[in-house]
Amino acid sequence: MNGAENSILTRGICGSKETRWGASTRNIGSGAGKWKQFTGGRASVVTISSCVRWCARMSIKYAHVAAIAMVVACRLVTAAEPAAEDVFARRILPIFNSPNPSSCTQCHLAGVDLKQYIRPSEEATFVSLREQGLVDIERPENSKILKLINMREANQAGAALIQEKTRQAEYAAFAEWLKVAAADPKLREVAPPAPERRPGPERPLEIIRHARKDRLLESFENNIWAMRFRCMGCHVEGSESNDKLRQKHGDRVAWIKSTGPQATMEYLLASRLIDVQHPERSLLLLKPLNEVKHGGGKKFIVGDQGYQAFRGWLDDYAMTVADRYSDAASLPKPDGLERFGTDVWIKLSNLPAEWGDSLLQADIHAWAPQRNEWDTQPIASTDRAVWGKGRQWQHTLTLSAPADSAQAKTWRTSGPSLPADRYLMRVYVDRAGRKARDWQARLGQEDYVGQVEVQSAWPAGYGKMTIVDADRLEK
């Protein structure tokens, strides 16, 4: 390469009037501004001048052409990978400034939104996510924040389809930004912020988990769904009696969906049967109480197991969706039991007249042969007001077992049932009306009226109920 060629090269790139190989670094450095403008700052002046010198030493013909090709390549790479700050402004800040909820709302009723993980500046956002372990600097495509964004419900219809489009846009935006941000040495080395300044949800993790829809569904199954047999006769979608009622009153009477608890909960959440401002005034409660005219008559009384289950779930849902839980201590305390509704009926006849119209509760205890005694925890229970005139009482049993126990898992997969055997039935009567005054009250020893051993195969169906004479009760 002669001096004229060298001069043409350096003037074209750096704007120098004269450049020689021995002084290329110095002279090219004087034109660094134009170099940076041309390459976007991706390749250093020293690097390109070194390439030119190496080509000259190796006597490569047209070394200046190779060098120019390198510069053009740098320019193209720069155009393909914009600066992280530009991507943040173009892709992430619109999410932060949007008035619309993020895709998080598909799974979370309250307490968390993708905006909470973003700050007005790129540096503050990246460093905070990095310190919380939400960014994988070496493999940004595996970052935890991307996995969180990508979590979804299986349902892809209706509103879920809109949320899915939002999620895809959010994922693409964060994936693009994290790729360039994780490669930025400046962002990788910035000192962590003070813990109180890190972005993210303000609520404790326990409340965020409590507000998940899958947790709400678990609670629904353990409360509303487990007590559905108190309403099954009229409200089960597709049943013969429900078909007749639908012809007269419309689809609103078919709120227990044949496809299961999730479809039933989603229907109720979208219906007028739930009042989130005043959950105790929800039609889902007032109808079975017959405080609002109910064609099926009175199915609940205040404080019975059905009312407690429905009211507890409604109160919790209203508190959750309004984001009114302040800390973990304010959350409802589960009793550790899983409940399963059945169509197994039990009846007590010849009741004392003084029990008339009182709430009667019957607990069924299984025999524990390994301990040679009755289990202290009932395997089944039910309650209802006594029919005073007929001096009798009857209702369906709700089975229960410790959460995640072998028994609970069996009932979940094979359906709840009681094996034919002998059982102990303990009976409690709320003659003082304590539950009417305090719907959360529990009956105890002061309400105990007696017990009786029962031998039964516990067949399902109203016409196959197990009947026990109350005269056999003993204390």
Task: pLDDT band for 22, please (50, 70, 90 cuts).
Answer: very low
Asked if residue 416 has pLDDT above 70, the reply is yes
- The answer to whether the predicted template modeling score (pTM) of the entire model surpasses 0.85 is no
> pLDDT tens digits, residue range 60-91?
455 555 555 555 555 444 445 578 999 999 99
How many other C-beta atoms can be found within 10 angstroms of the C-beta atom of residue 49?
24
Asked if residue 421 has pLDDT above 90, the reply is yes
Which two structure tokens, joined as six digits, stand for 39? 């390459």
At residue 68, the pLDDT reads: 57
At residue 318, the pLDDT reads: 97
Asked if residue 304 has pLDDT above 80, the reply is yes
At residue 242, the pLDDT reads: 85
Asked if residue 39 has pLDDT above 80, the reply is no
Mean pLDDT, the chain, integer: 83
> pLDDT tens digits, residue range 170-215?
999 999 999 999 999 999 988 887 666 556 777 888 998 999 999 9
> pLDDT tens digits, residue range 310-343?
999 999 999 999 999 999 999 999 999 999 999 9
Average pLDDT over residues 226-248: 84
DSSP state letter for 69: H
Which two structure tokens, joined as six digits, stand for 223? 């409360």
> pLDDT tens digits, residue range 178-189?
999 999 999 998
CA distances for 365 relative to 77, 376, 402, 475, angstroms: 74, 7, 14, 15
Q: Do 391 and 350 meet the contact criterion of CB atoms below 8 Å apart?
A: yes
Q: pLDDT exceeding 90 applies to what percent of the chain?
A: 59
At residue 64, the pLDDT reads: 56
Task: pLDDT band for 42, please (50, 70, 90 cuts).
Answer: very low
At residue 43, the pLDDT reads: 46
> pLDDT tens digits, residue range 430-462?
999 999 999 999 999 999 999 999 999 999 999
At residue 196, the pLDDT reads: 60
If you write DSSP's letter for every residue of 300-364 in order, what string do you get? --TTSHHHHHHHHHHHHHHHHHTT---SGGGS----SEEEEEEEEEEEEES--GGGTTSEEEEEE
At residue 12, the pLDDT reads: 36
Amino acid at 244: K
Task: pLDDT band for 364, please (50, 70, 90 cuts).
Answer: very high
- Residue for token digits 């930004």? 177
